[in-house]
Amino acid sequence: MSPEQTTDRGAWEALLTTLEQDVAGQAAGSTAAADPSAGAGWSAPTGLGPVPRDLVGRASRLLAAQRDRLASLEADRRATLEHLGALRAVDATREPRVSVYLDASA
């Protein structure tokens, strides 16, 4: 095994734990999950080497959880777009019958 292929088991465990906590927090609706910039600075780690054989199952379960979360977010996005479309359609057909401004300075 060459030096660049050396596996850092501790780093893999820490990375998997962090990613699992992120997915669990997003599923629970944590404030970090609600922040769209939360993952903006993330980049794939380098230098970890291959996934240790006994962590492959854990990594596979994490990948499945991430895919499930992505599908859920996509469904939420589509529903939101449908709702926005319906709201825009209602606003486009409504004409104000009275003044839409209120002078509260008096």
Instruction: State yes or no: pLDDT of 101 exceeds 70.
Output: yes
The confidence score (pLDDT) of residue 50 equals 92
> Who's near 23: CB < 8 A, 6+ residues apart?
62, 65, 66, 69
Sequence-ordered list of residues with C-beta below 8 angstroms from that of 26, at least 6 positions apart, any chain: 32, 33, 69
Tell whether the model's pLDDT for residue 1 goes beyond 50: no
- Give me the pLDDT at residue 13, please: 95
What residue type is 31 in one-letter code? T
Check the CA dihedral 85-87-90-91 and report its sign: negative
At 102, the pLDDT band (50, 70, 90 cuts) reads: low
User: What does the CA dihedral 75, 78, 79, 83 come to, rounded to 10 degrees?
Assistant: 170
For the stretch 33-87, pLDDT in tens is 456 566 667 788 888 989 999 999 999 999 999 999 999 999 999 999 999 988 8
Q: How much is the pTM?
A: 0.66
